[in-house]
Structure 1
Amino acid sequence: MMSDIQHYIEMHKDEIISDIKQLVQLESPTSDKNAVDQAGDWIQNAIKRYLGITPNVIKQNETGNHITFEIGEGKEQILLSGHFDTVWDKGDLELIEEDNIIYGPGVIDMKTGVVQILWSLRALKENNKALNKRVKVLFNGDHEGIASPTSRPYIEEAARQSKYGLVAEAATGEQGALKTFRKGIYRYKIQFHGKNSHAGNDHEKGESAILEAAIFTQKLEGLTDYEEGTTVNVGLISGGTGINVRPDFAEIKVDVRVVENEIGQQIDEKIKNLSSSNEKIKIEIEGGEVRPVMERTKQTVILFNKARSYANELGFELEEVAVGGGSDGSFIAAQGTPTLDGLGGVGGGPHARNEHINVNYVSDRTALLATLIEKL
């Protein structure tokens, strides 16, 4: 038998989907503060309309502003987290509907999750469900590509005050598994300073920064250990001024993923202690941890089992998965707060041109989020 929350959400399914499309059409690439803040304005207005709350806006100078508000009462707190910036530049993708699939920039990563948070709270409010815990919501506008540098302190502070963390990032796979573990992420910018010379007349007088960067890249990639779960990826390289000039500058950017924080610290030390093969080349290394490991603790397992039992009551199965991608859920879990991630849209293609959600899952997943908030 359908619960009153399920019934309410199903009755408003078309409105929820309309809100998702509206927010997706407000394109909000992380690098465009004005665009991110316009999407944030829409969210603020929705909070006022649906919950009768005027949210607090944490203004930023360079990144998108952050939005936070509280609802409910109680000594204990639940933290709901989501971001509304996207990886896509304006015009990269367009919103397309095909049968039960909606494609568009940020539709699964993670504007559907933001809308589902708002509607789960609206469903609880309009069905007069009393909350035995205070619910704090924090939406940030600085997530994609830059790893939430300005919102991280606010997320961590809220997590320390919370009994549970619920993150409405995209679910995993077309069946929508929740994430109970995420790898930690380290990132580096490494610059090489050599000496230029004419490639034809004075080749021997130059010191190639690009050559040293290539040798360094081999050393870095050699730190990858698949059995250990560690990957080191040199994803960007630049340098030089011309094909006939020995390059006096090169730069590489490095992404590292680890399954344990201790391993991350060890890799960080190894990278920072790597030496040049050419003493005439100066090397500068910047970077380190940007997201800690989101550990699957006993408390996380207990929380997931509760979510799975609620899903069964709502009429669907729920699975868990470990992933390598980054999320603000890592900041929450690192404060010792049991955290469930992946409570947002179900579909596929985050960061890919086929990014999409399956609208058939919207009602169930919104109802699950509402049930978690109510029962936890």
Structure 2
Amino acid sequence: MLADLAELVLCESFSADHAALARSADVVGALGARLLGAAPERIVIEDVPHLRWVFGTPRVLLVGHHDTVWPTGSLRSHPWSVVDGIARGPGVLDMKAGLVQMFHALASLPSPDGVCVLVTGDEEVGSPTSRALIEHAARGCAAAFVLEASADEHGALKTARKGTSRYEVVVRGRAAHAGLEPHKGINAAIEAAHQVLAIAELASAVDADTAHAAGAASALGATTVTPTLLTAGSTLNTVPALARISVDVRVPSASAQERTDVLLRGLTARTPGARLEVLGGGQRPPMEPESSAALFALAAGICAELGQEPLRGIAVGGASDGNYTAGVGCPTLDGLGGVGSGAHADSEHVVVDRIVPRTRLLAQLIARAPR
């Protein structure tokens, strides 16, 4: 398994580098073909390669991705290594270890019948070309197991995830010479400042309006509406005619996601003559705790039978393709991949002695999943 992991890590697969993704798809496809005895269907959408294996009529969906956040060439500064039981390299935790564990778990069973394996190439950028593939596959299955990394170094599973939305608030004013006749302008930067403060206050209103979703909120925490990137103006001596505010939204429930959308689109300008346009919207729906409860109970029982340490489940703010599988009503358990920490960071690593136990857990989950 370490040799397979090394092969995947050494084949870099930055999400924005389509040539690298094509090479990665070749390597991942060959690994899956060797272990599963069948070549994948290669689905290329807008130059992004996805891989799919379907065995019989699927009742279980295994979801992974082969793209990473690491720019091509990162191996030079973050080389593959295994030292003192720790494996390192770009994408080793997120999520190439998960892919290795997935293929070996399925290969260890008497037959892969009833399983669909989907490995996408654009998860790290929001799955724009693979979302429809994921949702279509999930609608026909009784369980989805997502091979994202564990929630912590102790191997906690991800039993709930916040939903995500992305917006851009465009502020339009009117340009004027800042020294000669500023009074003739409509300052988009000043209006943007008003809107940043208004946006920052929306989260508390959303949670107050969706108090009936207290069950999800207690597990996933509160809604967050965060102004992030702010730009305005064109030259130093011109009243800004245009400003843009990027907004990151994380929600614990579908009702909170809907209410946030209504409130953002209802923003009104404070500066006379300024105009607002709200772009964007919901991306990933929330993976609410109910979607994972039965599968987590099954996993906990399997861990006990295998003599592994007790499992913990954690609700997290980050999103994955598990949000999509849960969003179409498929019971979903996430975080079944590598155990380690530091995803997307210089410290990214996998604990080697946890690879085989996690593979055994996944194999039993596949075998015992609801029919």
Query: Under a length normalisation based on structure 1, what TM-score does the superposition of the two structures give?
Result: 0.88
Task: Quote how far apart the aligned CAs of 1:242 are.
Answer: 2.5
The 5-angstrom pairing of residues 284-295 of structure 1 reads 284-295=277-288
Aligned pairs for 1:306-317 within 5 A: 306-317=298-309
Report the Cα distance in structure 2 between the residues aligned to 1:224 and 1:89, rounded to whole angstroms. 34
Equivalent residue for 1:112, pick from 97, 112, 117: 97
Query: Residue by residue, what CA displacement relative to the aligned partner does 1:295-315 show, whole Å, maximum 9, x if unpaired?
Result: 121x63221111111112222
**Among 115, 120, 141, the residue aligned to 1:162:** 141
Pick from 22, 29, 38: which aligns with 1:44? 29
- RMSD over aligned Cα, in angstroms? 1.8
Residue in 1 that maps onto 2:70: 88
Query: What is the deviation of 1:168?
Result: 0.3
1:329 & 1:123 partners in 2: Cα distance? 24
CA distance in 2: counterparts of 1:99 and 1:235, whole angstroms: 40
CA distance in 1, matches of 2:178, 2:6: 55
- Cα–Cα, structure 1 residues 246 and 339, in superposed 2: closer, same or farther, change >3 Å? same
Go from structure 1 to structure 2 and tell me whether the alpha carbon gap of 1:212 and 1:27 turns closer, same or farther (over 3 Å shift): farther
Matched residues, number: 351
Partner Cα separation in structure 1 for residue 184 and residue 141 of structure 2: 61
* Structure 1: 4+ residue segments shifted above 4 A: none
Q: CA deviation at 1:167?
A: 0.3
Q: Residue 195 of structure 1: CA displacement? A: 1.9
Whether the 8 Å contact between 2:58 and 2:116 is mirrored in structure 1 is no
1:202-221 correspondence to structure 2 within 5 Å: 202-221=181-200
What is the CA-CA distance between 1:245 and the residue it aligns to?
2.4
Contact 2:163–2:252 at 8 Å: present in 1 too?
yes
How far 1:96 sits from its partner (Å)? Answer: 4.7
Query: C-alpha distance in 2, partners of 1:151/1:21?
Result: 26
CA contact (8 A) 1:294 1:333 kept: yes
1:271 equivalent among 264, 276, 297: 264
Of residues 11, 20, 29, the one that matches 2:14 is: 29
Q: Return the offset for 1:271.
A: 0.2
CA distance in 2 between partners of 1:330 and 1:344 (Å): 16
Question: 1:152 Cα shift?
Answer: 0.9
1:252 pairs with 2:236: no
- Which residue pairs with 1:144 in the alignment? 124
Q: Distance in 2 between matches of 1:99 and 1:326?
A: 31
Corresponding position of 1:18 = 3
Q: 2:13–2:67: 8 Å Cα contact kept in structure 1?
A: yes
Alpha-carbon offset, residue 203 of structure 1: 2.3
Counterpart residue type for residue 79 of structure 1: L
CA distance in structure 1 between the aligned counterparts of 2:333 and 2:168, rounded to whole angstroms: 32
Change (3 A) 1:95 1:319: same
The one-letter amino acid paired with 1:48 is: A
Which segments of 5 or more consecutive residues in structure 2 lack a partner in the other structure?
Answer: 208-216
Contact kept, 8 Å, 2:203 with 2:260, in 1: the verdict is no
Structure 1: how far apart are the matches of 2:155 and 2:193?
40
- 1:332 is aligned, of 294, 303, 325, to 325
Q: Hey, what does 2:210 align to over in structure 1?
A: none
Task: Assess if the C-alpha contact under 8 Å between 2:64 and 2:119 holds in 1.
Answer: yes
What SS does the aligned partner of 2:287 have? coil
TM-score when normalising by structure 2? 0.89
- The CA deviation at 1:76 is 5.4
Counterpart CA distance in 1 for 2:169 and 2:9 is: 36
Alignment partner, residue 50 of structure 2: 66
For 2:13, give the aligned amino acid: S
* Structure 1 contact 85–142 (Cα < 8 Å) conserved: yes
Q: Identity of paired residues, percent? A: 40
The C-alpha deviation readout for 1:146-190, integer Å capped at 9, x for no partner, is: x11211111111111001110000101110111111111111122
Structure 1 residues not aligned, in runs of 5+:
1-15
CA distance in 2, matches of 1:259, 1:306: 24
Give the superposition deviation at 1:130: 4.1
Which of residues 174, 193, 203 in structure 2 aligns to 1:195? 174
Q: Distance in 1 between matches of 2:179 and 2:3?
A: 63
2:216 is aligned with 1:234: no
Letter of the aligned partner of 1:351 in structure 2? H
Amino acid in structure 1 at the alignment position of 2:88:
Y
SS of corresponding position for 1:333: helix
CA drift of 1:202 comes to 2.6
Aligned to 1:148, the other structure's residue is in SS state: coil
What code does the residue aligned with 2:90 have?
P
Q: 1:370 & 1:173 partners in 2: Cα distance?
A: 21
Q: Give deviations 1:231-268, integer Å, cap 9, x for gaps.
A: 01112122322223222222121110111111110111
Partner of 1:134: 114
